């Protein structure tokens, strides 16, 4: 702890979930690979509180993950003593919602703020094994909104954020979760990427054009129809590319796939799968439209075991609250 600066009693960090709307370049011949577009969403979040303690202790969901992140950061910062972390909420793991990056950065930021150390989001993400492909989780942690990253280069650092836009306040996102399924992660994810090989130049070029010349201007002009068309096409091309690693389908969950197709027919925009899924998404122009679409989706025979939520784009990043010592 820095001299003359009092240590807070505790720090609470609350981080929104994110949707990964797609990669831009899985070819990499220009020197950078991946590149991602994604946004922060409301109503699904991770929240932890960290305090100094005699012995380190983690309580709540995702305990093993949080414990590993805590031990790594204690070593990196040269901290003695212990810490107690209470996980009050955790985004579902391996669902395509960025849970690992949220937890890792929440622990790192909470520990740094508790001991009055300067923040280092990119460095800590790398220390904790996050940001190997996508930089949007790191960017959304600090900013929220809609972000595009510029892909991984040759340096061992996360992809840089190259675009940040606010999401129109009236837009809504239907988020379709399948609690029975997990998306590819860990060694399985690495194997899947290795098995697919490079994307053709022309496909990567077209996806970059879709994002730069259609999706981003549409967000700036609040044009959901054009944004949705760009994301739907981006998702279709990516889905075809990843299908061999997903059992021959564009979607990890057949139930989510069926419900998304019904939402597409009912007038939703920009249907797709976040990362490896199984979580799917679709956009609506207003809360009223979103509720109508959710009601229709819930009547679908494949929706019985699904969790269908109406969320908003969230134009802020993580909330970090310091708790004072009682007087």
pLDDT one-digit tens code per residue, 142-167 = 999 999 999 998 888 889 999 999 99
CA distance 14 to 278: 23
pLDDT one-digit tens code per residue, 70-101 = 999 999 999 988 999 999 999 999 899 999 99
Exposure of 101 in the CB half-sphere (CA atoms within 13 A) = 31
* Residue 38 confidence class, pLDDT cut points 50, 70, 90: very high
In a shared domain, residues 66 and 37: yes
Angle, CA 174 vertex, CA 303 and CA 285 arms, to 5°: 135
In a shared domain, residues 148 and 256: no
In a shared domain, residues 189 and 157: no
In a shared domain, residues 1 and 75: yes
In a shared domain, residues 139 and 253: no
Neighbouring C-beta atoms of residue 322, cutoff 10 Å: 14
Contact status, residue 268 vs residue 297, Cβ threshold 8 Å: no
CA distance 115 to 96: 32
In a shared domain, residues 206 and 253: yes
In a shared domain, residues 276 and 321: no
In a shared domain, residues 135 and 210: no
Task: Give this prediction's pTM.
Answer: 0.93
How many structural domains is the chain composed of? 2
CATH code at 304? 3.30.70.890
Asked if the model's pLDDT at residue 4 lies above 60, the reply is: no
Residue 177 φ/ψ, nearest 5 degrees: -100, 145
Q: DSSP readout, 255-269?
A: HHHHHHHHHHHTT-E
In a shared domain, residues 55 and 142: yes
Contact status, residue 18 vs residue 40, Cβ threshold 8 Å: yes
- What domain range is 188 assigned to? 168-311
In a shared domain, residues 3 and 109: yes
- Distances in Å between the Cα of 172 and the Cα atoms of 92, 232, 235 are 20, 16, 18
CATH code at 320? 3.30.230.10
In a shared domain, residues 93 and 21: yes
- Residue 185 has a pLDDT of 58
In a shared domain, residues 162 and 172: no
């Amino acid at each position: 702890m820095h001299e003359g600066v009092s240590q807070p009693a505790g720090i609470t960090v609350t981080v929104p979930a994110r949707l990964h709307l797609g990669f831009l370049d899985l070819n990499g011949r220009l020197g950078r690979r991946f590149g991602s577009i994604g946004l922060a969403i409301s109503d699904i979040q991770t929240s932890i509180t960290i305090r100094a303690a005699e012995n380190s202790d983690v309580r709540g969901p995702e305990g093993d993950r949080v414990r590993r992140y805590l031990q790594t950061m204690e070593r990196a910062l040269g901290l003695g003593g212990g810490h107690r972390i209470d996980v009050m909420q955790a985004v579902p793991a391996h669902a395509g919602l960025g849970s690992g990056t949220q937890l890792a950065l929440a622990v790192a930021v909470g520990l740094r703020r508790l001991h009055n150390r300067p923040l280092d989001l990119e460095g800590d993400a790398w220390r904790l094994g996050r940001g190997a492909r996508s930089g949007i989780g790191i960017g959304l942690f600090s900013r929220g909104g809609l972000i595009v990253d510029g892909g991984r280069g040759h340096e061992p650092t996360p992809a840089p954020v190259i675009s940040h836009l606010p999401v129109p306040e009236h837009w809504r996102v239907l988020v379709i979760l399948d609690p029975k399924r997990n998306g590819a992660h860990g060694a399985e994810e690495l194997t899947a990427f290795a098995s697919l090989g490079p994307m053709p130049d022309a496909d990567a070029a077209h996806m970059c054009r879709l994002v730069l010349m259609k999706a981003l201007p549409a967000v700036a002009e609040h044009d959901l129809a054009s944004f949705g068309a760009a994301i739907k096409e981006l998702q279709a091309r990516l889905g075809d590319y990843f299908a061999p690693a997903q059992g021959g389908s564009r979607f990890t969950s057949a139930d989510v796939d069926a419900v998304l197709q019904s939402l597409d027919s009912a007038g939703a925009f920009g249907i797709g799968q976040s990362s490896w899924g199984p979580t799917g998404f679709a956009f609506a122009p207003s809360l009223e439209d979103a509720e109508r679409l959710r009601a229709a989706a819930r009547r679908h025979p494949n929706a019985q075991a699904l969790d269908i939520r109406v969320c908003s784009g969230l134009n802020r990043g993580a909330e970090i609250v310091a708790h004072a010592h009682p007087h």
